[in-house]
Amino acid sequence: MNEVKVERGGLWTSVQDGGRAGWRHSGMPGSGAMDMFAYRAANAMVGNVRGEAALEFTMDGPTLVFAEASVICVSGGDFIASLDDVVLPLWRPVYVPAGGRVRIGAARSGYRGYLAVAGGFDVPAVLGSRSMYPHAHGFAGLAGRALAAGDALLLNPLAPEAHRLAVAAAAAKYGLAASMRPDYGARVKRVRCFAGAEHTRFAPGVREQFAAAPYVLSAQSDRMGLRLAGASLVQPSAEAGSMPSAPAAVGNVQVPPNGQPIVLAADGQTIGGYPRIAQVAAVDMPILAQARPGDAIHFEWITVEHAEQLWHDRERDFQQLNLTMKTLR
């Protein structure tokens, strides 16, 4: 039985997958990887095509020992990583021998990292997903909590043929070039948005203001919401706070009465009472997920049609990537 021992949990490491769909009506958010691009890329690199569960770590990653030979991929922020004390390259499949120790240290840039393993982590799925939900009673992932030293994670068994193919892919040393990844490293992060559900409640000047100067990511941000500080987005006083609660979605840019926007993230609430000035394009949520507290975010208006096109382009890129990884084998 292939098992991964956790020697060090890291700052905040959880099991995540593509998220739970279909439970928002019960108040349960989708959860799942904050940086869907990096998560999906890591899975693609190890030949996982069914949304297998991976690890998401934050700022400082875990130390893991693999009982049996495995193929892994680490992606996301620019984390310092090693395999048995030799530098471990990111964004490409890597062969880990039996007993291999993978150490993930601090991120040189970026904020969240992912570790996928061929076959995926085997934790029980709850409501159709293995993603940790840490609030309320907490469930899934590893019993609804972050990884800690002494934990052990099981891996899904991999057929000998699949294992052989993953090893071959690792040997091919094919990685995902920086040019094919979102521009995580930019000093001012550019995040595209389209009109939010209540954008007409804001004066045109306020909508311009939102995209005119950068906002700074606040340290109060987490997987529920990314809080921003910058130009205050005022609403006509008669309307402020008068909105009946309405369904919310990931990427909603909510404006509470203090005028400082909050972007709803993976674990964000399903119902909200604040007007939404903008909606972050899904393809740019990974950029926000990799921003650190203090980083500058520059919003840019695009049309919803453009955002849809970007979404389809991204899906095509992943189909292509999965195909490429298959041919490598």
The stretch among 19-27, 35-43, 65-73, 107-115 that binds other proteins (CB under 8 A) is 19-27
User: Minimum distance between the CB of residue 165 and other proteins, rounded to whole angstroms?
Assistant: 26
Among all chains, which residue has been given the structure tokens 């190890």? Answer: 46
In the list 107, 115, 140, 226, the residue contacting other proteins (rule: CB under 8 A) is 140
b/e sequence 173-190, b meaning 16+ C-beta within 10 Å: ebbbeeeebbebeeeebe
Query: Under the criterion CB under 8 A, does residue 197 sit at the interface with other proteins?
Result: yes
Count of residues touching other proteins (by CB under 8 A): 40
Over the Cα atoms of the chain, what is R_g? 20
Near other proteins by CB under 8 A, which window of 24-32, 74-82, 84-92, 148-156? 24-32
**Is position 315 an interface residue for other proteins (rule: CB under 8 A)?**
yes
Out of 164, 173, 312, 326, the residue judged to bind other proteins by CB under 8 A: 312
Residue (of 268, 237, 236) closest to 253 by Cα position:
268
Q: Give the range of 18-26, 54-62, 73-81, 82-90 binding other proteins by CB under 8 A.
A: 18-26
> Counting contacts by CB under 8 A, is residue 257 touching other proteins?
no
Q: How far apart are CA 209 and CA 205, in angstroms?
A: 6
Half-sphere exposure of 11 (CA within 13 A, CB side): 14
Which whole-number Å values give the CA distances from 160 to 108, 157, 234, 326, 327, in the listed order? 36, 9, 60, 16, 18
The two tokens of residue 311 are 């979404």
Write out the binding residues for other proteins, residues 260-299 only, by CB under 8 A: 269-271, 279, 281-282
Among 5, 8, 101, 135, binds other proteins (CB under 8 A): 135
Q: Does 137 bind other proteins (CB under 8 A)?
A: yes
Q: Would you tell me how many other CB atoms lie within 10 Å of the CB of residue 317?
A: 16
- Stretch of residues binding other proteins (CB under 8 A), selected from 38-46, 162-170, 176-184, 245-253: 245-253
| Of 9, 18, 20, 25, the residue nearest 248 (C-alpha) | 25
Quick check: 53 binds other proteins (CB under 8 A)?
Answer: no
Contact call for residue 50 and other proteins (CB under 8 A): no
98, 137 in Cβ contact below 8 A?
Answer: no
If one asks whether residue 34 binds other proteins (CB under 8 A), the answer comes out as: no
Structural tokens at position 123: 């934790």
Q: For other proteins, which is the closer residue by CB, 32 or 100?
A: 32
Q: Is 179 in the site for other proteins (CB under 8 A)?
A: no
CB-based contacts of 290, cutoff 8 Å, min separation 6: 35, 38, 76, 77, 110, 111, 112, 182, 184
Contacts with other proteins, residue ranges (CB under 8 A): 21-28, 126-127, 133, 135-137, 139-140, 194-195, 197, 244-252, 269-271, 279, 281-282, 304, 307-308, 311-312, 315
